[in-house]
Structure 1
Amino acid sequence: MAAAAGGGAWRTYKRLLRYALPYWKLFLFSSLTMAVYGGTDTLFAALMKPMLDDSFVARDPEAIRMVPVMLIGLFLLRGLVGFASSYGMSWIGRKVIESLRREMFDKLLVLPVSYFDRVAGGELVSRLIYNVEQVAQASTNAVTILIRDTFTVAFLLAWMFYLSGWLALMFLVIGPVMAALIRYVSRRFRRISERIQGSMGDVTRVAEEVIAGQRVIKAFGGQEYERERFEQINAKNRRLQMKMVATSAASVPVVQFMGAATLALVIYLATQQSLQENISAGDFVSFITAMLLLMPPLKRLTSVNASLQSGIAAAGSIFELLDAESERDTGSRRLERAQGRINYEGVTFRYPDTPAPVLEDLSFEVAPGETVAIVGRSGSGKSTLVNLLPRFYDPQGGRILLDGHDLRDYWLADLRAQISVVGQEVVLFNDTVAANIAYGRPDADHAAIRRAAELANALEFIEALPQGFDTHVGEQGGLLSGGQRQRLAIARALLKDAPILILDEA
């Protein structure tokens, strides 16, 4: 199980890194500057040897002059390569995020309606906004720390072995213990991160429902119920976040304690008589400096697992969305403009996880130009019936014909171009009145928009608005009344001028 999970995490991370491949030259340059940055710590530790042995002990005039100059040059170099590496990696990271968000948004546009029936909108929004930012931590900050600090640790260890292999080995005794701790912390971070991201989706979902349904909540006195529901989800999210904080906070001092214990052991061994003959004062101070400089990168390498594992878990949820099956478009028949003859032949449809079909062996015909009213009790399948026509769903039995051909034979775009729909729930976008009426018809001129509004009996109230057709309607048309929103939706359907017009309780 653990091995499989680890392999899955590695596959996810490799897939994520592929998004950075187009920028491999900048990545290589940033990696080289990070290597130089990692070497500056070792150079600083190395300067301690001539500073002590040559400047303070031997009083060499050349060393006294050169060591300060070398220190200034060293930190100037460190600043330059540090800026170059951080900026380069951040640029790559934001490009990766831009690409992921673009792919996710494009995917949302081609997913079937049934997918949105299964997955809450709040969860999808959370993936698009929150999870993608978690990926930024894994693809930039974490990678920067991993590369730069790995070079730093490698160079410092090499210098320590150069000074004294025995003391360096003593320092490395605790390495396997630290590695085991890091592996344990990594697994725990990943598990908690996956639960946190699911919890964030719940928080977003409930908040969106409350905002969208605030009129119903007020009308039915549901404030206390919604408050309790949100409090439970919010408290769960807080508990998960605190588990993450506790794991991160506990791992850092443990690693620091083990490092301090190693430092104490090395100092003790270095002061023993058997070693004093082989190590000068400058060697010893340089060795201790290298050890102390090892602590921060080791600490960061331990702590980076929090953001790294969060990013991997977030990337997994993003790739799950990207890998979801898109809406099937298997048709090959083109359709310029339909006559409008519709035949339902033995149509049967059942929603997933429902025992009984909503529609069963339904057959009827609608002639071109004919107006048909479908009546029935609530829940009898009227909306399902009309949702089958633009192929938002496909029937499990029977078939639906348009002008004598199965709907599945047509290209989806051509089929849906023949149909205008005004649904039970009117959807308006946070734009102007004119833009909402002309949605899907960007080439429509003002005269056509005005004519559609007039046919929908919307012209009178539109002209009474502050900016007329240029008035913004607000989110979901919140600045308009329910009747006004519906008339705008009808105007939009009329402007499309499709052969088939569906009014679902509109």
Structure 2
Amino acid sequence: MAGGDRRRLFFRLWRDYLRQHLGWVLVGLVLLSVEGGSVGALSYLLQPMFDRIFVAREAEAIWPVGMAIAGLFAARALAGVAQAVVLTRVGQRVTADVQGDLVRHVLSLDAEYFQKNAPGSLIERVQGDVTILQGVWSLLLAAGVRDLVALVSLLGVAIAVDPVWTAITAVGVPILILPSLVVQRYVRRKFGALRELVARRTTRLDEIFHSVVPIKLNAMEAYQERRFRELSDRIVQASVKTNAAQAMSPALVDLGVGLGFFLVLVYG
């Protein structure tokens, strides 16, 4: 899908489905910001914990610093649970609306469309693809807001502590950009192929269950089972490749972080 098509699709999703839940979306954004900002706040509180309590051994600092850290984790926990509930509510409502509109549109098509598209494929499109769409937008919203706030808060604390070290650790950021883009493009391609295989498996099951009498009369049980297993094996292989590619993104982040720490140690 081209970039322009993706933008139009996202705009349509927002205009027709997400905008009516704007209030809950804003609540989710605030909760995600609290969850993400707690990372920077924790890094800021680590300095008095080590400097005043562990190094200087100031007994009077134990209670305020300890209560601040405990309160921070409590706020993060509550925000994490609340944002999950809010985003799940919005996502499930949007999924139900999209599926209802999709069924209404499919029912308005002529009989030729149903002759060209197997029922199993249509079922997978209505159920599987729409459910994945809900998961994707929730993931993008969570990652885009929570991780961005966490990154900004961490950068703010790092710059306040030592701007030079912050600049050195940022060397690893450009190294991650190009590989991450390549990985994401590969994941999208493999994920599309995986969805096609899943749709074909659903169609195969639909054909088997609707033709079970002829299958038994012609003793074709073993043949149908073999075809189904072959398709399932292909789905397993595609799933492994897709998940392996998805796991490369955090691995690249770890490599960049490791490089940043190494440069800081060399500089220090």
TM-score scaled to structure 2, two decimals?
0.92
* 1:90/1:141 contact within 8 Å kept: no
- Structure 2 equivalent of residue 12 of structure 1: 9
- Structure 2 equivalent of residue 69 of structure 1: 67
* 1:42/1:159 contact within 8 Å kept: yes
Cα offsets for 1:293-348 (capped at 9, x unmatched): xxxxxxxxxxxxxxxxxxxxxxxxxxxxxxxxxxxxxxxxxxxxxxxxxxxxxxxx
Match of 1:148 among 146, 149, 158: 146
Read off the aligned partner of 2:176 and give its amino acid letter.
Answer: M
- Structure 2 equivalent of residue 158 of structure 1: 156
- Structure 1 equivalent of residue 171 of structure 2: 173
User: Post-superposition shift, 1:59?
Assistant: 4.1
* 1:17/1:139 contact within 8 Å kept: no
* 1:86/1:144 contact within 8 Å kept: no
* 1:92/1:140 contact within 8 Å kept: no
Q: Point out the more displaced range, 226-235 or 20-29.
A: 226-235
Distance 2:33 2:221 in 1: 57
- Structure 2 equivalent of residue 273 of structure 1: none
- Structure 2 equivalent of residue 24 of structure 1: 22
Distance 2:139 2:256 in 1: 26
Unaligned runs of 5+ residues in structure 2 are none
Read off the aligned partner of 1:32 and give its amino acid letter.
Answer: V
Read off the aligned partner of 1:13 and give its amino acid letter.
Answer: F
Cα offsets for 1:273-303 (capped at 9, x unmatched): xxxxxxxxxxxxxxxxxxxxxxxxxxxxxxx
Equivalent residue runs for 1:171-250 within 5 Å:
171-250=169-248
Read off the aligned partner of 1:141 and give its amino acid letter.
Answer: L
- Structure 2 equivalent of residue 263 of structure 1: 261
Equivalent residue runs for 1:101-116 within 5 Å:
101-116=99-114
User: Post-superposition shift, 1:62?
Assistant: 4.0
TM-score scaled to structure 1, two decimals?
0.50
* 2:169/2:259 contact within 8 Å kept: no
Read off the aligned partner of 2:198 and give its amino acid letter.
Answer: M
* Higher CA-based Rg: 1
- Structure 2 equivalent of residue 90 of structure 1: 88
Give me the CA root mean square deviation: 1.8
* 1:47/1:67 contact within 8 Å kept: yes
* 2:36/2:146 contact within 8 Å kept: yes
Distance 1:152 1:224 in 2: 55
User: Post-superposition shift, 1:7?
Assistant: 3.1
Distance 2:181 2:67 in 1: 43
Distance 2:238 2:50 in 1: 51
- Structure 1 equivalent of residue 131 of structure 2: 133
Aligned residues, how many? 267
Aligned partner of residue 221 in structure 1, secondary structure? coil
* 1:37/1:148 contact within 8 Å kept: yes
User: Post-superposition shift, 1:261?
Assistant: 2.3
Distance 1:175 1:252 in 2: 13
Cα offsets for 1:384-430 (capped at 9, x unmatched): xxxxxxxxxxxxxxxxxxxxxxxxxxxxxxxxxxxxxxxxxxxxxxx
Identity of aligned residues (%): 25
Q: Which structure has greater strand proportion?
A: 1
* 2:41/2:153 contact within 8 Å kept: no
Read off the aligned partner of 1:49 and give its amino acid letter.
Answer: Q
Q: Which structure has greater helix proportion?
A: 2
**Cα distance change of structure 1 residues 43 and 250 upon mapping to structure 2, 3 Å threshold:** closer
Bigger RCO of structures 1 and 2 (CA < 8 A, at least 6 apart): 2
* 1:93/1:140 contact within 8 Å kept: yes
- Structure 2 equivalent of residue 344 of structure 1: none
* 2:173/2:256 contact within 8 Å kept: no
Aligned partner of residue 71 in structure 2, secondary structure? helix
Aligned partner of residue 11 in structure 1, secondary structure? helix
